Structure 1
Amino acid sequence: MIVKKTLSLKSIFEFTGYHFLWLTGWMSLVTTVYYFFSWSILALPWLPLPLIGTAVVFYIGFKNNQSYDRLWEARKIWSEITNSSRMLATMITNYRSGESSEADGELIRKQIVFRHIAYLYQLREQLLEPTVWEHVSMKSSWGTGFYNRQRRAKLTSSFQEELEAIAGRKYLSVEEKIDLQGYKNKAVQLLNIQTRMIQQLYKNNALNMLQQMEVQAAIRNFYDSQGKMERIKQSPFPREYATFSFIFVCVFIFFLPFGLLGEFERLGAFGIWLTIPVGVIIGWIFVAMEMISDYCENPFEGLRNDTPMLSICREIEINMLQTIGENDIPDLIKPKSHVLI
């Protein structure tokens, strides 16, 4: 997630700058052929272009809204997990049955909090696994896949110190780590263990029935939230919307210089050369709108526009450790180059 009020020119160029190259090439080719060969047939009437452009803008606007909804829903789900995690730590720390002493089940209570922190980081790791339709998985799309894999690797490496610190904190026992290797969905298995441990507290009279039901309800909330995020992760944005949006933008840009030629020719012999800069700017605007919606589709891709899961997990980790009275508290994740992951 970018945590800066405005993007720098460098960031904008890194995101969309390479499109200026082919846009300039296309506008220059059409204009040059028209000027030197006097092919008047290339100058199309201007009227169809605004009609096509208006339709494309409405279509891209719809796609942008739907893509942003996916991104914002992902952020709201992580907010639900944040609130439920704080509630879990509070209940585990303070709930006592009338028959238990202050020290009853303290080890299990602490293990539940530690295991939940491990669950959060495991869930993040699972959500970052690329799917075939994400940008980092693209194989042959003008180098886009390779470029985004490089961007993701560079972004991850900038937070390498924080990731190593997380790996060094032993929230799971060696036995639990070994046992998890046999499960495909490790995060779900951690919740399953949590349920058993809470039930154990109840059997040991460390929690009464009502308290046990409330704590189990919190675990159920994590199942629900994880399922919602997996739905977003495993359900691509409808490909017909994404594909036709890209095609419509390409069609508009293809015809754009032909419509501009006749208009700028009215300014004189050299006026038609304005087709190049004006066409590049108009084409870039449409491409940028398409790219913004395209990159909002996948909020768990690990790129800089995505949900900052690492910083959210760290914030929850700090809150839970402080709730149970731990002294070894890690620092918040700080932005690197105005980006949080």
Structure 2
Amino acid sequence: MIVRPRPSFLQLLFITRGSIVPDIIGQIIAAAVVAALVVLAHKNWPHVVPVFNGAPFALVGIALSIFLGFRNNACYDRWWEARRQWGEMIAVARNLARQTLVLDGTPDAPSRMRILYLQIAFARSLARSLRRSAGDFSGVAAFLDPDDIASVEASRNRPDAILRLMGREFALLKARGAISDILFQVLDQSAGRLALVQAACERIHNTPVPFAYTLLLHRTAYIFCFLLPFGFAESLGWGTPFAAALTAYAFFGLDALSMHLEEPFEDNPNGLALAAMSETIEINLREALGETDLPPLPQPKDFLLM
């Protein structure tokens, strides 16, 4: 996720970190080259390469802009909902630290540490599963009891397996009389909220924007940008390649940005900072346990927070 102060006008023209241009530079150059070839051919062989009225291109361009805007809004909604869900998880984690304070200073204090460590493991495991890096289990295992590592690692849904361990710990505390029925219900509701966060993230992760809609916009954008020079070669002359490149930047840029936002959990500059949010949960909960040997708060590197 790009985190940086608002750039000045001159900086805005030359920023590359977080820009969509590197992803679409090929399409921009191709559109400009095609436009230049059309202008050159029309000037030398006007009877072979005719031009058309530019009015239909304006109408198609307006319609295409509206469709791209709709897709961009739909993809941004996915990105924002994913961020809201992770914000919910951070809030639940902090609530768990407060709700389990009743165990602090009692013989059941180790259970509080186990619950909060399970929360840290849950956040780390969910982040890895959403980023398709589930094979990296070391960061999760560090917060699990040795007896639980094998069962969680073998599970097909590791975050859910960790939640079951958390629920089991709540049940054991209630059976020992360490917590009341009311506190058990409160803790169980917190675990239920974590399960809802996981389900919502999995829904976003496993349900893409309909492919037919994406394909339609891709095809229309390519056809429009490569036919555009035939409508303006006569009126714009050698300014047509610049107009074609600018149009390609707008249309292909919006399309590429939508693809980034469509997958908010991917490891790209516009993806959510899952690792940073997981580390934030770890720092908050370990501090709540009284630990002092804590890692520093996540900071962006080269304006990039992952």
Which TM-score applies when normalising by structure 1?
0.82
Give 1:152's aligned residue: none
Equivalent residues in 2 for 1:205-224 (5 A)? 205-224=177-196
The whole-number CA distance in structure 2 between the counterparts of 1:233 and 1:189 is 19
Residues 17, 41 of structure 1: CA spacing in aligned structure 2 closer, same or farther, 3 A cutoff? closer
The whole-number CA distance in structure 1 between the counterparts of 2:181 and 2:226 is 69
Structure 2 residue 72 is the aligned partner of structure 1 residue 88: no
Structure 2 residue 123 is the aligned partner of structure 1 residue 120: yes
Letter in 1 for 2:71: K
Letter in 2 for 1:332: L
CA contact (8 A) 1:85 1:316 kept: yes
Aligned match for 2:55, one of 47, 50, 53: 47
Structure 2 residue 46 is the aligned partner of structure 1 residue 38: yes
The whole-number CA distance in structure 1 between the counterparts of 2:153 and 2:246 is 52
The whole-number CA distance in structure 2 between the counterparts of 1:15 and 1:9 is 14
Aligned match for 1:58, one of 35, 41, 66: 66
Structure 2 residue 80 is the aligned partner of structure 1 residue 108: no
Structure 2 unaligned spans of 5+: none
CA contact (8 A) 1:63 1:293 kept: yes
Aligned match for 1:73, one of 76, 81, 87: 81
Structure 2 residue 266 is the aligned partner of structure 1 residue 260: no
Moved more, 234-243 or 219-228: 234-243
CA contact (8 A) 2:27 2:248 kept: no
Deviations 1:38-81, CA, capped at 9 Å, x for gaps: 23652111111101001001111111111100000000001110
Aligned match for 1:243, one of 204, 215, 231: 215
Aligned match for 2:260, one of 281, 289, 295: 295
Give 1:147's aligned residue: none
CA contact (8 A) 2:68 2:217 kept: yes
- What's the % identity of the aligned pairs? 24
SS of residue paired to 1:181: helix
Give 2:3's aligned residue: 3
Structure 2 residue 302 is the aligned partner of structure 1 residue 333: no
CA contact (8 A) 2:35 2:226 kept: no
Letter in 2 for 1:185: N
CA contact (8 A) 1:318 1:330 kept: yes
SS of residue paired to 1:10: coil
Letter in 1 for 2:219: I
Structure 1 unaligned spans of 5+: 131-162, 265-271
Deviations 1:20-40, CA, capped at 9 Å, x for gaps: 321222112212221222236
Give 1:151's aligned residue: none
SS of residue paired to 1:248: helix
CA contact (8 A) 1:260 1:279 kept: no
SS of residue paired to 2:191: helix
Letter in 2 for 1:330: P
Shift of 1:313: 1.0
The whole-number CA distance in structure 1 between the counterparts of 2:79 and 2:27 is 25
The whole-number CA distance in structure 2 between the counterparts of 1:77 and 1:242 is 25
Shift of 1:208: 0.8
Give 1:136's aligned residue: none
Structure 2 residue 154 is the aligned partner of structure 1 residue 182: yes
The whole-number CA distance in structure 2 between the counterparts of 1:321 and 1:85 is 11
Aligned match for 2:143, one of 143, 166, 171: 171
The whole-number CA distance in structure 2 between the counterparts of 1:330 and 1:41 is 66
Which TM-score applies when normalising by structure 2?
0.91
CA contact (8 A) 1:95 1:211 kept: no
Letter in 1 for 2:61: G
> 4+ runs of 1 displaced by more than 4 Å?
none
Shift of 1:169: 8.2
Deviations 1:204-261, CA, capped at 9 Å, x for gaps: 1111111111001100000011000000000011112211111121121122000111
The whole-number CA distance in structure 2 between the counterparts of 1:18 and 1:339 is 24
CA contact (8 A) 1:23 1:284 kept: no
SS of residue paired to 1:260: helix
The whole-number CA distance in structure 1 between the counterparts of 2:225 and 2:28 is 12
Count of matched residue pairs: 296
Letter in 2 for 1:121: R
SS of residue paired to 1:18: helix
The whole-number CA distance in structure 2 between the counterparts of 1:227 and 1:331 is 30
Give 2:24's aligned residue: 16
